[in-house]
Amino acid sequence: MLHVAIATRAFRRYSTYRAATLAGIFTNSVFGVIYSFAYLALWDANPTAGGYDSQDAVTYVWLGQALLMTIALWGGGTTDDLADRVRTGDIAVDLYRPVGLVGWYLASDLGRAAFHLLTRGLAPTVIGFVVFHIAMPSSLLNAAAFAVSLVLAVVVSFAIRFLVASTAFWLLDQSGVTVMSGAFAIFFSGMMLPLVLFPGWLGTVANALPWASYVQVPADIWLGKHTGTGLLGALGFQVFWAGVLLLACQGVLSLATRKVVVQGG
């Protein structure tokens, strides 16, 4: 129950910034239009590139714009608070609390993601549907699987952002690591270009890295590219990375805690 309360508060906290939300939707949509025309030019010249057709490609663009804030691809989200609190020393207060730190921040990040999904996620999808006639999930099963995949995408992204924020325990200023990790995220998530276009070994590597859970996996589920056991495999891939990375968060945190205790004397 506590975690639900945390998530609700986070949802409400983010919903305060109405003008920012509208501005964000506008910006996402502008980028959606730009990338749509770029992809249309690509698929016009090569109509079967990466096993997508041009409608798949445009759908992929708008899903990417819809997911951008929901999964906090650029970093940000509640893990930024964590880094700030490490720098200011407020983290000591958090560590007193009789609640696990990872669970606390994960709950609040899920609340944030829910808000971003309903605003920054939904609006570009609708605009993409109206203007570019993007595809909708072909069956109820696909839609349900997409919903599950979305939650897993947020968890994987949260875990990576948590690890990045945790570097503040050692570096005090995590902004450099944040930028680096953002660069990897944008490239290997398929946000910049669908991973299905990546040639040879680069494609193999990109599809195995945790970032593939951000955009490529949910988008492929939406597009109905995974069926039957393939669908389970795709979700299993996300579950695997979510589990591994959350364990890593816990591990890094216990290492860091020891360090904080030493600093505090």
Where do contacts with another protein occur on this chain (CB under 8 A)?
17, 19-20, 22-24, 26-27, 30-31, 33-34, 37-38, 40-42, 45-46, 49-50, 171-177, 179-180, 182-184, 186-187, 192-193, 197-199, 202
C-beta of 39: minimal distance to another protein in Å? 9
C-beta of 258: minimal distance to another protein in Å? 21
Question: What number of other Cβ atoms are within 10 A of residue 169's Cβ?
Answer: 22
C-beta of 35: minimal distance to another protein in Å? 8
Between 141 and 180, CB nearer to another protein: 180
CA dist., res. 155 & res. 243, Å (int): 9
Between 27 and 257, CB nearer to another protein: 27
C-beta of 41: minimal distance to another protein in Å? 4
C-beta of 264: minimal distance to another protein in Å? 22
Between 108 and 189, CB nearer to another protein: 189
C-beta of 260: minimal distance to another protein in Å? 19
Between 22 and 143, CB nearer to another protein: 22
CA dist., res. 199 & res. 217, Å (int): 17
Between 174 and 238, CB nearer to another protein: 174
Between 33 and 151, CB nearer to another protein: 33
C-beta of 137: minimal distance to another protein in Å? 26
Long-range contacts of 232-237 (CB under 8 A, 24+ apart): 234/149, 235/145, 235/148, 235/149, 235/152, 237/212, 237/213
Between 41 and 141, CB nearer to another protein: 41
